[in-house]
Amino acid sequence: MWTPVKVVKISGNSMAPYAKDGDYAVSTKFFFSIAPGDVLVFRSPVDGTILIKRVRNLETSGEGTKFFMEGDNRMRSTDSNTFGTIAKKSIIGKVIFIARQKRAEPA
């Protein structure tokens, strides 16, 4: 079923501190442009898993625009440094909100 909004639970800390393990990313399919700095939900070109990463660069060629994606926590991120650029058709949505998981207060 097609929906204008997609909610994805974040697994791992590749986007910390922006988003952490257990948080939820709310994304929309209604966006008019993608620019460096935007955070996207997309399917991995390697195995189709859903990933959340930040756009670092756009590469335009005769085949269209490709996006170079990186996690904010580069030491813990599998991203375009590993699998290369992604095509626009892989994009599920642009993140518009992060819902934080309630974390235990320190003692």
Domain ranges of the chain: 5-99
Reported as a single tens digit per residue, the pLDDT across 1-12 is 667 899 999 999
Residue 1 has what pLDDT? 64
pTM: 0.89
Is pLDDT above 80 for 36?
Answer: yes
Q: pLDDT of 51-100, one tens digit each? A: 999 999 999 988 899 999 999 999 999 999 999 999 999 999 999 999 99
State the pLDDT at residue 30.
86
Contact 56, 68 (CB under 8 A): yes
CB atoms within 10 A of CB 41: 23
Q: Which CATH architecture has domain 5-99?
A: Ribbon (2.10)
